[in-house]
Amino acid sequence: MFAASLLMPKGVVTGAITELKKKGYVSFPELYFIKDKLEVSISALVARINTLIS
């Protein structure tokens, strides 16, 4: 989790989460766009999002 915190700071991921919450759903293309933007794996991104919304 330490690496995820460094690669995906809370402020950056929270901004992306806020945009997705406005729509009310998340699609795979959106997740993969964020993954590519942050240059991380999809599993790391999903794990980080889960830790921030829990």
Name the residue ranges covered by the structural domains of the chain. 2-53
The C-alpha atoms of residue 14 and residue 49 are separated, in whole angstroms, by 8
Mind listing the pLDDT tens digit of every residue in the chain (54 residues)?
556 666 677 787 888 778 777 888 788 898 898 889 888 889 888 888 888 877
The C-alpha atoms of residue 38 and residue 24 are separated, in whole angstroms, by 22
